[in-house]
Structure 1
């Protein structure tokens, strides 16, 4: 029986993934800041164990992992799902706002992964599933800091997939597009506290205007998305990236075209920057 440890699982994609795993008869550890917010159906399931955990509290993470191991004997899949968004032009975002975002989206993920890896190394197996974003392969206006945090997640996951292969541990980053969850609500999304009027009418503030009207009308279905994440994670071999959603696929094609154009324009001169004796 597979044991999952899912952070940020009180709602949204994390809760749907927990429901999917529970329905398949797997054990699920739900890590949430406030256990009172765990949905009733998950809280009552016999194969669910809830731990109170804020992943930005690095000192509290080892105890949560130990509680999971005591309850189910190990951890087969860690899903680093906890995270939030931050909108605003780069110039508008303060250091404090950016650091707070990275504390959750990046350092919380790092600390959780560090805590679980000894368990997985002892087992000789394990799967890391990091919830990134389509903003993790394409920087977009108005989401520079969020995008930076998800680029970091993608880079960490790719490196881990190589570092951990000798131990039988796999790593995958899931890069969803916009999902119809609470992510665009104030509970999950922060706006730069100080806006600059010069950005009105520019792409950065157009993103803010879109976010203000798009909540709960997003394209992606979190139930279907969770089902696909579960299906892929159940495979023997994980892909390095799971590109999730039609909008992600569309934007990935745009990104690939951009890479192709940039490469073709300068590849010859770029290759010529090697030392003459390198050949």
Structure 2
């Protein structure tokens, strides 16, 4: 960034664990002030690397609740006065296939993995534009880029996140807003698993992924990355 990362404000959903927590720690180490959206702030215990207190604030954010998106944005503006980065990380997995799974499970997938980041972007977009170098990071998945198993509900939701990132690029470009869809394969978190998963020691390290995300967020407006595919194994489909 032309003005450096010091003082910039990043909002990160699902920052209590996994990829979200790794991104929070990395951006904080680079000088960002953090607005962290978590379901239960009182239960947030993994603060390693987030010491400093005054520049890290926790807010209650439930992705399934439509009113939480504008509320969290308003709280962030009241606390920090600006928003420069939005990381849509909160998400779920449900095994909805064409032959199994319920409408309720599909609705839950789409509500949390698609509608929630849509609402967050809509609420934060005016402030990201005002930044002049606003950044949106949608944590999608390799499942949003190819069909490898039968979990079509999850794949649909993650493909929508990729599309949403491209829509942000289009609408925000002239105001300096850049967006990236980050599409990792297996990452060593508590969400990774399944019969086709590699051994955990062969999965992508969340801290390494966070470093890549921080690097993309830190690019100038003339060095935008639209999609970032990160995998721990070779796939002939990509």
**Equivalent residue for 2:32?**
26
CA contact (8 A) 2:96 2:154 kept: no
Secondary structure at 1:129's aligned position in 2?
strand
How far the C-alpha of 1:111 sits from its partner, in A, is: 0.4
Residue 104 of structure 2 corresponds to residue 122 of structure 1? no
Unaligned 5+ residue runs, structure 1?
186-207, 257-279
Q: TM-score, normalised by structure 2?
A: 0.89
The residue that corresponds to 1:36 in the other structure is: 42
Q: In the alignment, which residue of structure 2 is the partner of 1:86?
A: 94
Alignment partner, residue 202 of structure 1: none
Per-residue CA distance 1:100-133 (angstroms, 9 max, x = gap):
1110000001001101001122333311110000
Match runs of 1:185-224 below 5 Å: 208-210=194-196, 216-217=200-201, 219-224=203-208
Counterpart CA distance in 2 for 1:175 and 1:4 is 20
Aligned-residue CA RMSD in angstroms?
1.9
Task: Name the structure with the higher helix share.
Answer: 1
For 1:112 and 1:239, the matched residues in 2 are separated by 21
Alignment partner of 1:255 is 2:225: no
| Cα distance between partner residues in 1 of 2:42 and 2:200 | 23
| Structure 1 residues 68 and 210: alpha-carbon distance in aligned structure 2, compared to 1, 3 A threshold | same
Distance 2:56 2:231 in 1: 28
- Answering whether residue 222 of structure 2 is matched by residue 240 of structure 1, we say no
Instruction: Write the mapping of 1:49-198 to structure 2, written as runs, cut at 5 A.
Output: 49-184=57-192
For normalisation by structure 1, the TM-score amounts to 0.76
Change (3 A) 1:63 1:89: closer
The 2-side partners of 1:62 and 1:215 are apart by 40
Residue 181 of structure 2: SS of its match in structure 1?
Answer: strand
Instruction: Please say if residues 202 and 232 of structure 2, whose CA atoms lie closer than 8 Å, have aligned partners that are also in contact.
Output: no
Identify which range, 74-83 or 38-47, moves more after superposition.
38-47
Residue 244 of structure 1, CA deviation: 1.6
Off by >6 Å, runs of 4+ in structure 1: none
Note if contact 1:182-1:216 (Cα within 8 Å) is conserved in structure 2: no
Residues 126 and 170 in structure 1, CA contact (< 8 A), matched pair in contact too: yes
CA contact (8 A) 2:166 2:226 kept: yes
Shift of 1:4: 0.5
Q: Does 1:11 align with 2:17?
A: yes
List alignment gaps of at least 5 residues for structure 2.
Answer: 1-6
